[in-house]
Structure formats: structure tokens, C-alpha cells
Amino acid sequence: YVLPWLILKNSVRAFIVDQWKLKMGFQCAKLRTHLEI
């Protein structure tokens, strides 16, 4: 019963990391456009 829980935990962590990377990438892009203008 432990294995599915570990897989679930890992996929949730991967999902959170992906969301965070997307957010940071969006912030960086926004900053870059502000600097270019």
C-alpha cells in the first residue's frame, strides 16, 4: 500500500514544481518586457 502513495506524492510534487516553474517563467517574461519597453 506504500508504493501508490509514494507515486502519488512524487507526481504531486512534480506538478507543483511544474506550476512553480511556469509561474517563475511568466514573472521573468513580464519583467523582461517591462525592461525592454
Count Cβ atoms below 10 Å from residue 15 Cβ, excluding itself.
Answer: 10
The confidence score (pLDDT) of residue 33 equals 81
The confidence score (pLDDT) of residue 37 equals 56
The DSSP symbol for 37 reads -
Q: Where in the chain are the domains?
A: 1-37
The confidence score (pLDDT) of residue 1 equals 65
Digit-coded pLDDT (tens) for 1-37: 678 889 999 999 999 999 999 999 988 888 888 777 5
CA distance 15 to 13: 5
pTM reported for the whole predicted model: 0.60
